[in-house]
Amino acid sequence: MNSPLLMNTRNLSRDFGGVRALRDLDLDVRQGLIQAVIGPNGAGKTTLFNVISGVIVPTGGSVFFRGEEITGLPTHKIAQKGLTRTFQNLQLFADMTVLENVMVGMHCMSKGGFFASAFKAPWVIAEERRVRDESMEWLRFVGMEDHSATVAGSLPFGSQRILEMARGLASNPELLMLDEPAAGLNSRETGDLARLIIRIKESGVSVLLVEHDMELVMSISDHVTVIDQGHKIAEGDPETVRSDEKVLKAYLGEE
Amino acid sequence: MRFPPFVRSPYAGFLLFSGMLAVLPLLLTNDYYLNVLIFIGIHAIIAIGLDLLLGYTGQISLGHAAFFGLGAYITGVLSAKASWPPIAGLVVALVGVGILAYVIGIPTLKLHGHYLAMATLGFGIIVQIFFKELDFLTGGPSGLVGIEDMVIFGYEFDSDLKYYYLVCVSLALTLLLSINVVQSRVGRALRAIHGSEVASSVLGVNVSRYKVGIFVLSAVYAAFAGWLYSHYMTFVSPSSFDFMFSIKLVTMVVIGSLGSIWGAIFGAALLTSLPEFLYVFEKYETTVFGLILITVMIFMPKGLLRGVEDAVLAGVRVVRGKGDDK
Amino acid sequence: MTLSQQILQYLITGVTVGTIYALIGMGFNIIYNSTEIINFAQGEFVMLGGLLTVSSMRILHLPLPFAALVAVIGVALIGTLLNVAAIRPVKDPNPITLIIITIGASIFIRGVASLIWGKDPYPIPAFSGEDPIQFFGAVIQPQSLWVMGVALSIVLGFRQFFGKTITGKAMIASAFQPRAARLVGIDTRFMVLISFALSGLVGAVAGIVIAPMSMTQYDIGVMIGLKGFCAAIIGGLGHFWGVVIGGITLGILESLGAGLISSGYKDAIAFGILLLMLFFRPQGILGKTKGDRV
Ligand SMILES: Nc1ncnc2c1ncn2[C@@H]1O[C@H](COP(=O)(O)OP(=O)(O)OP(=O)(O)O)[C@@H](O)[C@H]1O
Ligand SMILES: [Mg+2]
């Protein structure tokens, strides 16, 4: 746990009317690791992702990315700084092809506005080719190069989850946040997913993982944070967390 | 694999289409049709812009008649009241409408669904009221007369045939720019916004900037069409730019095929020529028009072009037998 | 008239028209609450209410109250027909599709009306004479009192219906928790059908009570329907009391603006208020913000 701090939250809170989805949450995410956030249903995990990525604003507290405060910045600005995510309920561009989905992921990695596009400046053409080639590379990385021309909405569920990850990777993030990537996958697909997440880490991208599949979490995470009702109740390496009494209570209490 | 390959390359389609436009007048037996074609071309320019907004980006506007009207009135007033040459009027109209669309677009495009529909609709109605009420400029409800004929750098477009070619060049230009936009990083971002705003934004797409940008572009197209309209008619009146016309524009886009530039042109051609050919049924025009809207949306929500195409492809599959599917 | 009497007069007109907007807006809300659809054909219900009354009186020779009853029932049926024929068959009910369909329906209904009734305006006699009532130097048309009285009864009636009756509660349940409602055996499709009928009913009533003051015609539905929608948004879309406040606010501001500034800009004032509301407080006067879930 000595790698440098990449992203951290301080006293992060978010209320929805009477529901306190996050309460004074401090979370440290370090570079080069796979870190997991777990907790029972409704613990506030997705809300945490929403607040960090700027999709919703917190009611209190702050978010820092590489030491710089990013609380309340517009989502696209946060993304441009190198922080992106996937969604628990898939948010693919369903009418676009697989390749086009990844090419959108490269939005920040390329330039060309309305004017240059409309008049097709020569460099726009070269840029377009580069974006296409690099996007194909990302599809190869996740093993979906054979489906590049398929319409994303018609992919099987598991491939849609993978495509969301490829799309996120294409935006060249330093931190990739995955919201329940294994939900709805069978055990073979979950195994592939585990290997993919490890390869993502090895390629230098830090991963923050929210997941209910404990086997997956415990087998690949370097560090686990447990939250319940918006509170952090435990953290540490998988072994420590697994045997924590509060954690057991939170999960059993729910059942 | 929807179209045969040569139609799928939009630039091949573009060349084919331009060639067709160029020879079309030779096939016409009646000058009256030339007049209809001119209106089709003008409407197609607006419909393409609206399709970029509605079909590609998924943002509805029920007030696009206002931008068309503003283009027509700005150029009309400058020509009739100040004797400005058409080109100068065009520049003022494009820049003026562009700025207005930008200012209106920023708060408007924060809205979604019904709220967006209602805001654009309200804007359209307000603008039309100004056309009626600012008598001293616009001639009030009875309209503005005395707009000069189209002259560009000394060349006078004094026949319907010449005007037809002017409209064709304008349409081809609009079409080419739009194909370029759609094929680019910008076009991808627009379609991504249609698919999921939140996913676009976590990938770094500045959603509001693109929405406002495409709103401005489509408004500028409409103003451009207004310029062509005003110097062709040499007369404009508020009733040409009412709420019903905005609806008609949306219908063109929807009937053609949401998110297909060719569909927008097809829709403009269909809805502009239908009343001309069905003039005996004038009494039933609105009724039929309403019925078309409902039926198309229920049975072919992707538009006639796609609907027909799907039907044909299905037919082909049946003829070939199921074996070819695999 | 002194200025204050004049203003009082504008206020009276404003409240009268505003109540009509509120009624129409209530029709929007009923459908919106059960389906999240904005029914752009709502204004046509208003037009049909007036014109069907006229025809019932002329052709069936019914006295006004019975003619009105026939019209209200007729429009309620047309409402259900709209639901069955144009809304139910929609496979992909996204907002844009539904907006376009209801707009198509409104154009269709208006077209049919112009074929049946032509394009001339028709009068309906005032319910209880036209002798104006003096009121602090301003005058009130007896019909204004009818408008307000009928509107008040409808509002109270609906309050009772949604708050007290099984059907009303079932409608609210199926609107807010469709899955749960279905689980406890509520037929949500039937509830949607009823909402279209009720919405037709209020629209028709609005059209009948206002007709003696403004005549009725095949195309009156467009503007008045949109104003009703403005009322609903200004008050807070879907909010029961919001639409009453929204309608009356809109009616008063519009009437004051038309009287004190210029009558030509009357509609511009109404839609100007709508835009300001949408830009700065889209949830309306009484509505609460609803966060989208991701
Ligand atoms: N937009 C919202 N409006 C109102 N309440 C919300 C909203 N989003 C989340 N909540 C509430 O906040 C709490 C935390 O929800 P959240 O979705 O963050 O949980 P989670 O840990 O992701 O659960 P799960 O494991 O089921 O995905 C829940 O009680 C939820 O109902
Ligand atoms: Mg969650």
**Which tens digit of pLDDT belongs to each residue from C69-90?**
999 999 999 999 999 999 999 9
How many angstroms separate the alpha carbon of residue C96 from the centre of ligand 2? 29
Q: Does C291 touch chain A (CB under 8 A)?
A: yes
Of the candidates B107, B118, B297, which has its C-beta nearest C274's C-beta? B118
Chain C partners within 8 Å of B53 (Cβ):
none
Q: How many domains does chain A have?
A: 2
Q: What is the pLDDT of residues A154-205, one digit of tens each?
A: 999 999 999 999 999 999 999 999 999 999 899 999 999 999 999 999 999 9
How many angstroms separate the alpha carbon of residue A44 from the centre of ligand 1? 6
Q: Are residues A255 and A177 in the same domain?
A: yes
Residue whose CA is closest, atom 26 of ligand 1? A41
Residue A124 lies in a domain: yes
Q: Check whether B305 has a pLDDT greater than 80.
A: no
Q: Token digits for B177?
A: 């720019």
Average pLDDT, chain A: 92
Decide if A117 and B198 are in contact by the 8 Å CB cutoff: no
Residue A220 lies in a domain: yes
Decide if B294 and C96 are in contact by the 8 Å CB cutoff: no
Q: What is the pLDDT of residues A212-232, one digit of tens each?
A: 999 999 999 999 999 999 999
Residue A178 lies in a domain: yes
Residue for token pair 């415990």: A218
Decide if B186 and A105 are in contact by the 8 Å CB cutoff: no
Q: What is the DSSP letter of B9?
A: S
Q: Which of A144, A171, A198 marks a domain boundary?
A: A171
How many angstroms separate the alpha carbon of residue C114 from the centre of ligand 2? 54
Interface of B with A (CB under 8 A): 177-178, 180-181, 184-189, 191-192, 194-196, 198-207, 213, 217, 259
Q: How confident is the model at residue A250 (pLDDT cuts 50, 70, 90)?
A: confident
Cα C125 to Cα B39, B156, C68: the distances in Å are: 46, 59, 12
Chain A partners within 8 Å of C294 (Cβ):
46, 50, 55-56, 87, 89, 91
Q: Are residues A30 and A102 in the same domain?
A: no
Question: A169 vs chain B: nearest CA distance in angstroms?
Answer: 10
**Is residue B137 classed as helix, strand or coil in its secondary structure?**
helix
Going by C-beta distance under 8 Å and a sequence separation of 6 or more, which residues neighbour residue B304?
B255, B256, B257, B263, B266, B267, B270, B296
Taking residues A84-88, what's their average pLDDT?
96
> Is there a contact between A189 and A163 (Cβ–Cβ < 8 Å)?
no
Decide if C291 and A46 are in contact by the 8 Å CB cutoff: no
Going by C-beta distance under 8 Å and a sequence separation of 6 or more, which residues neighbour residue C90?
B297, B298, B301, C97, C98, C101
Taking residues B250-266, what's their average pLDDT?
89
pLDDT averaged over 10-residue windows placed end to end, chain C, 294 residues: 87 94 94 88 96 94 94 97 93 84 94 94 88 86 92 91 87 82 85 93 96 91 93 89 93 92 89 93 76 42
Distance, CA of B136 to CA of B143 (rounded, Å): 11
Distance, CA of B84 to CA of B60 (rounded, Å): 34
Chain A partners within 8 Å of C291 (Cβ):
16, 56
Residue A87 lies in a domain: no
Q: Are residues A179 and A253 in the same domain?
A: yes
Partners of A83 in the β-ladder: A175
Q: Position C72: which residue type?
A: V
Predicted confidence at residue C293, as pLDDT, reads: 42
Closest CA to C200 of C82, C64, C121, C99: C82
Q: Check whether B5 has a pLDDT greater than 70.
A: no
Q: Tell me which chain B residue has its CA closest to the CA of residue A105.
A: B203
Q: Are residues A139 and A253 in the same domain?
A: no
Q: Does the beta carbon of A14 lie inside 6 Å of ligand 1?
A: no
Distance, CA of B260 to CA of B304 (rounded, Å): 11
Q: Check whether A31 has a pLDDT greater than 60.
A: yes
Q: Could you tell me if the ipTM is greater than 0.85?
A: yes
Q: What is the pLDDT of residues B167-222, one digit of tens each?
A: 999 999 999 999 999 999 999 999 999 999 999 999 999 999 999 999 999 999 99
Q: Are residues A156 and A214 in the same domain?
A: no
Q: How confident is the model at residue B277 (pLDDT cuts 50, 70, 90)?
A: confident
Q: Are residues A157 and A177 in the same domain?
A: no
Interface of C with B in 194-223 (CB under 8 A): 222
Q: Check whether B280 has a pLDDT greater than 80.
A: no
Most C CBs within 10 Å, among B51, B53, B114, to test the C interface: B114
Q: Are residues A179 and A208 in the same domain?
A: yes
Q: What is the DSSP letter of B204?
A: T
Predicted confidence at residue A3, as pLDDT, reads: 85
Q: Are residues A56 and A155 in the same domain?
A: no
Q: How confident is the model at residue B326 (pLDDT cuts 50, 70, 90)?
A: very low
Q: Are residues A121 and A221 in the same domain?
A: no
Residue for token pair 């406002």: B212
Q: Token digits for A160?
A: 């849609």
Distance, CA of C75 to CA of C55 (rounded, Å): 13
Distance, CA of A91 to CA of A49 (rounded, Å): 14
Q: Taking the CA atoms of B262, B268, B269 and B271 in sequence, report the sign of the dihedral they define.
A: positive
Main-chain dihedrals φ then ψ at residue A131, nearest 5 degrees:
-60, -40
Cα C293 to Cα A43, A50, A209, B27, C203: the distances in Å are: 15, 10, 20, 57, 34
Q: Token digits for C278?
A: 């949408």
**Is residue B153 classed as helix, strand or coil in its secondary structure?**
coil
Neighbours of chain B (3+ CB pairs under 8 A): A, C
Decide if C278 and B111 are in contact by the 8 Å CB cutoff: yes
Distance, CA of C263 to CA of A235 (rounded, Å): 69
- From the CB of residue C182, how many other CB atoms can be counted at a distance below 10 Å? 14
Question: C217 vs chain B: nearest CA distance in angstroms?
Answer: 16
> Is there a contact between B41 and B168 (Cβ–Cβ < 8 Å)?
yes
Q: Which of A124, A144, A171 marks a domain boundary?
A: A171
Q: Which of A142, A171, A200 marks a domain boundary?
A: A171
- Ranking A158-167, B84-93, B275-284 by mean pLDDT, the lowest is B275-284
Exposure pattern of B219-240 as b/e (b: 16+ CB <10 Å)?
Answer: bbbbbbbbbbbbbbbbbbbbeb
Q: Are residues A133 and A10 in the same domain?
A: no
Which domains does chain C carry? 3-280 (1.10.3470)
Closest CA to B154 of B66, B85, B56, B52: B85
Give the 3-state DSSP-derived string for chain C, with helices as H, strands as E and coil as C. CCHHHHHHHHHHHHHHHHHHHHHHHHHHHHHHHHHCCCCCCHHHHHHHHHHHHHHHHHCCCCCHHHHHHHHHHHHHHHHHHHHHHHHCCCCCCCHHHHHHHHHHHHHHHHHHHHHHHCCCCECCCCECECCCEEECCEEECHHHHHHHHHHHHHHHHHHHHHHHCHHHHHHHHHHHCHHHHHHCCCCHHHHHHHHHHHHHHHHHHHHHHHHHHHCECCCCHHHHHHHHHHHHHHHCCCCCCHHHHHHHHHHHHHHHHHHHCCHHHHHHHHHHHHHHHHHHCCCCCCCCCCCCCC
Chain B partners within 8 Å of A84 (Cβ):
202-204
For residue B156, what is the enclosing H or E element? strand B155-156
- From the CB of residue A140, how many other CB atoms can be counted at a distance below 10 Å? 13
How many angstroms separate the alpha carbon of residue B258 from the centre of ligand 2? 34
Taking residues B9-36, what's their average pLDDT?
86
Q: Would you say how long chain A is, in residues?
A: 255
**Is residue B236 classed as helix, strand or coil in its secondary structure?**
strand
Which domains does chain B carry? 10-284 (1.10.3470)
Neighbours of chain A (3+ CB pairs under 8 A): B, C
Q: Are residues A182 and A195 in the same domain?
A: yes
For residue B151, what is the enclosing H or E element? strand B151-152
Residue whose CA is closest, atom 17 of ligand 1? A46
Cα C275 from chain centroid (whole Å): 20
Give percent of chain B above pLDDT 70.
94
Q: Does the beta carbon of A155 lie inside 6 Å of ligand 1?
A: no
Within 13 Å of residue C14, how many CA atoms lie on the same side as its CB? 23
Of the candidates C101, C111, C226, which has its C-beta nearest B298's C-beta? C101
How many angstroms separate the alpha carbon of residue B201 from the centre of ligand 1? 21
For residue B144, what is the enclosing H or E element? strand B144-145
Distance, CA of A223 to CA of A207 (rounded, Å): 11
Exposure pattern of B257-277 as b/e (b: 16+ CB <10 Å)?
Answer: bbbbbbbbbbbbbbbbbeeee
Q: Are residues A78 and A178 in the same domain?
A: yes
Distance, CA of B122 to CA of C278 (rounded, Å): 10
Q: Tell me which chain B residue has its CA closest to the CA of residue C113.
A: B287
Main-chain dihedrals φ then ψ at residue A7, nearest 5 degrees:
-140, 140
Mutation pick for ligand 1 pocket among A13, A16, A231, A254 (CB with most ligand atoms within 8 Å):
A16
Predicted confidence at residue B33, as pLDDT, reads: 87
Q: What is the DSSP letter of B149?
A: P
Q: Does the beta carbon of A13 lie inside 6 Å of ligand 1?
A: no
Q: State the residue range of the domain holding A245.
A: 1-82+173-255
Angle at which helices A157-170 and A122-142 cross, to 10°: 130
Of the candidates B54, B114, B125, which has its C-beta nearest C38's C-beta? B114
Chain C partners within 8 Å of B293 (Cβ):
100-101, 103-104, 107-108
Interface of B with C in 59-88 (CB under 8 A): 60
Q: Position C12: which residue type?
A: I
Partners of C193 in the β-ladder: none
> Is there a contact between A105 and A168 (Cβ–Cβ < 8 Å)?
yes
Decide if B250 and C100 are in contact by the 8 Å CB cutoff: yes
Q: Tell me which chain A residue has its CA closest to the CA of residue B259.
A: A95
Residue A191 lies in a domain: yes
